[in-house]
Amino acid sequence: MSEYARKLRKNLSDAERVLWQILRNRQLAGWKFRRQHPIGPFIVDFVCIEKKLVVEVDGGQHATSLQEDTKRTRYLENKGYRVVRFWNNDVLRESDSVLNFVLNFLSGSPSPCPSPPKGAREK
C-alpha cells in the first residue's frame, strides 16, 4: 500500500498539485496535511490527521464511481474522519474559495463561506 501511495505522490493531477502547493509545509494557517496518505485499505488525497479531515480532489472518473466513493467515505467516517470532496475544475478555477472552505472547516466555523464552492461536497 505504501509503495502505491509513494507512486501516487509522484504523479499528482494538476488540481492536486495546485492544492498541495498551498497545503504543504503548514502553509494553511499552520495545519499539517499529508498527501496520498493510506488510511486502512484506501489512499486519501489529503488529510489533516489532527482535525481528522480528509480532502478529496475528484476528476471526471468519480462521476461514474459513486458507489465506490460512498463505500470509501463510509469507511473513513466510521474511523472518525470528515470527508470533503471538490471537483478538479473547482480547485483549478476557484482555488481561493476551496482553500477558504477548507480553512473555515478546520477552524470550526459554522458557515465556511457565504456559499461553498460549487464543487464542495461534504460526505
CB contact burial 47-80 (16+ within 10 A = b; e otherwise)? bbeebebbbbbbeeeeeeeeeebeebbeebeeee
pLDDT band at 99 (very low <50, low <70, confident <90, very high): very high
- Per-residue confidence (pLDDT) for residue 49, from 0 to 100: 96
Three cell numbers at 121?
461536497
User: How large is the C-alpha radius of gyration of the chain?
Assistant: 13
What mean pLDDT value characterizes the chain? Answer: 82
Per residue in 26-81, pLDDT tens? 999 999 999 999 999 999 999 999 999 999 998 855 455 678 888 999 999 999 99
Parse the chain into domains and list their residue ranges: 2-122
CATH for the stretch 2-122: 3.40.960.10
